[in-house]
Amino acid sequence: MTAPVLSTPAFSLFPQWLPVAAAQPAMSAPWWQWVASTDSLTARLMAAGEPGTFRVRLLRQTIGLPQRDEALALGIAPRRYAWLREVALCVDETPWVVARSVAPLHQLQGKGLGKLGERSLGSWLFQQPDLVRGPLEATVTPPRFTHQQPGLSANSLWGRRSVFEHGGLSLLVQEYFLSTMADALGLPSR
Ligand SMILES: C=C(O[C@@H]1C=C(C(=O)O)C=C[C@H]1O)C(=O)O
């Protein structure tokens, strides 16, 4: 199926992020299963690969300024410092997904996220009984945070984002599915 919205030249006039339902006409059914799922992506990737081959590779964890669209998604001022975490979710040492998570610094106290290291943020999040996930949005624009690793950003097929709420913390999670994952699982190009 062709992409009625995403492939038109006018798409550049649309917001970068679309509600996932608005992107569905441009998305194959196999990709919809991944992009629109609301359960733990970590758990899904663990189940999709050979047992014991899933790993979170920490690319960067730091304190810095969020991108403008990230601040808007979190409802914070753009010049407000945030906790930034960038990872590659790997199966058998191959990155399948790259993710960037952003949380307002002042909400992080006592959460212990600084010590997460290469343990999955998703595994921690989905253990929280009061966890609420906001609406999913999708994009075809490649991630900016992997620009210095061209192999990663150039291979992004779909991106998605949503805000998790837990115990006074708002955490924006953005995940980009790479063509390496499509190749390994026999998924279509989009
Ligand atoms: C939100 C989840 O967490 C995943 C794990 C991440 C991490 O360790 O930084 C980041 C984003 C997600 O891809 C999930 O598993 O659904």
Q: Is the CB of 181 under 6 A from ligand 1?
A: no
Q: Write the pLDDT tens digit of every residue in 12-68.
A: 544 589 999 999 999 999 999 999 999 999 999 999 998 999 999 999 999 999 999
In a domain, 36, yes or no: yes
Q: Is the CB of 42 under 6 A from ligand 1?
A: yes
Q: Which residue's CA is minimally distant from atom 6 of ligand 1? A: 121
| Residues in Cβ contact with 54 at an 8 Å cutoff, skipping those fewer than 6 apart | 42, 45, 46, 89, 90, 91
In a domain, 136, yes or no: no
* 2 — pLDDT class (breaks 50, 70, 90): very low
Ligand 1 atom with the smallest distance to the CA of 39 is 16
In a domain, 76, yes or no: yes
Q: Is the CB of 172 under 6 A from ligand 1?
A: no
Using CA atoms, how far apart are residues 159 and 144, in angstroms rounded to an integer? 11
Q: How far is the CA of 15 from the centre of ligand 1 (A)?
A: 24
Q: Is the CB of 173 under 6 A from ligand 1?
A: yes
Ligand 1 atom with the smallest distance to the CA of 44 is 15
In a domain, 19, yes or no: yes
- Please name the amino acid found at residue 148: Q
Q: Is the CB of 99 under 6 A from ligand 1?
A: yes
**Residue 110 domain boundaries:** 15-117+163-190
CATH number of the domain residue 183 falls in:
3.40.1410.10
Using CA atoms, how far apart are residues 136 and 44, in angstroms rounded to an integer? 17
Counting the structural domains of the chain, the total is 1
In a domain, 145, yes or no: no
* 78 — pLDDT class (breaks 50, 70, 90): confident
In a domain, 143, yes or no: no
* 173 — pLDDT class (breaks 50, 70, 90): very high
- ipTM of the predicted structure? 0.90
In a domain, 127, yes or no: no
* 113 — pLDDT class (breaks 50, 70, 90): confident
Q: Write the pLDDT tens digit of every residue in 127-172.
A: 999 999 999 999 999 888 887 776 676 788 999 999 999 989 999 9
